[in-house]
Amino acid sequence: MITPQRFFEIVPQNLNMDIRSELYYTNEFNFAVAVILSAQATDKKVNEVTPALFRIAPTPQKMLELGLDGVKEHIRVISFFNNKAKNIIALSEKLSKYENSEKWAFPTKYHSRAELIKLPGIGQKTANVITNVLWNAPNIGVDTHVYRLSHRYGWVDDSANTPDKVESELLKKIPKKYHDIVNHVMVLFGRYTCTALRPKCNTCPLFKYCNFKHD
Ligand code: SF4
């Protein structure tokens, strides 16, 4: 059986990659923008457009100067780009009163999920990822990989049928010392090894403990 303890003891050292977000970003503002863009889009796709966008518009002020049409032009290949562009402009309007530097950072009042979700375009999942990646907050962003693996390994039962319910179960079951890496490790493991279809069981470090494995 794959227990949370066993998973987090074994998987991080076997990932062979940095345990961090794969999204490209250069400061805290554009990390938030990248997370907004990544909803229902792959990190890879987002990373195709963000280097050019962030070169021109690294701060809320510069994003406003680029304008709605300019943002749309840069992110046109990303799903739901119209709505996402509107959200990015609304977020920029809200944050434009703060510093205007390439090292843009959120004022500390936004270092909490409760404050972040008051900002345009930032829902619970986005806020979880932002607080977790930028400030190591023990929130667990439950995306498709975290959701699937939690069910696959039996860490949550069928009644955990929303990301919020899965997150609250995981916070109880996964030892606290791992909370700040849960999202990264599960996303990377779910993306490259324990994939939805044809998981790579023959090279999996959890093979001998797994009840779900395929040949
Ligand atoms: S053995 Fe296969 S199903 Fe089990 S954890 Fe590894 S990759 Fe996933």
> Which residue among the candidates 43, 62, 72, 143 is catalytic per the annotation?
143
164 CA from centroid of ligand 1 (Å): 24
Contacts by 128-132, CB closer than 8 A, 24 or more apart: 128/167, 128/183, 129/21, 129/35, 129/183, 130/31, 130/32, 130/35, 132/180, 132/183
pLDDT single digits (tens) 70-97? 999 999 999 999 999 999 999 999 999 9
pLDDT at position 177 is: 86
| Model pLDDT for residues 4-43, shown as the tens digit of each residue | 999 999 999 888 777 777 899 999 999 999 999 998 898 8
More confident residue, 184 or 213: 184
Ligand 1 atom at minimal distance to the Cα of residue 207: 1
Domains and CATH numbers, the chain: 4-19+140-209 (1.10.1670.10), 28-104 (1.10.340.30)
The pLDDT of residue 100 is above 80: no
Nearest atom of ligand 1 to the alpha carbon of 153 = 5
Q: Which residue has the higher pLDDT, 188 or 137?
A: 188
Residue predicted with more confidence, 127 or 141: 127
Q: Higher confidence at residue 202 or residue 180?
A: 202
Helix (H, G, I), strand (E, B) or coil at 19: coil
Under the banding of pLDDT at 50, 70 and 90, the label for residue 140 is: confident
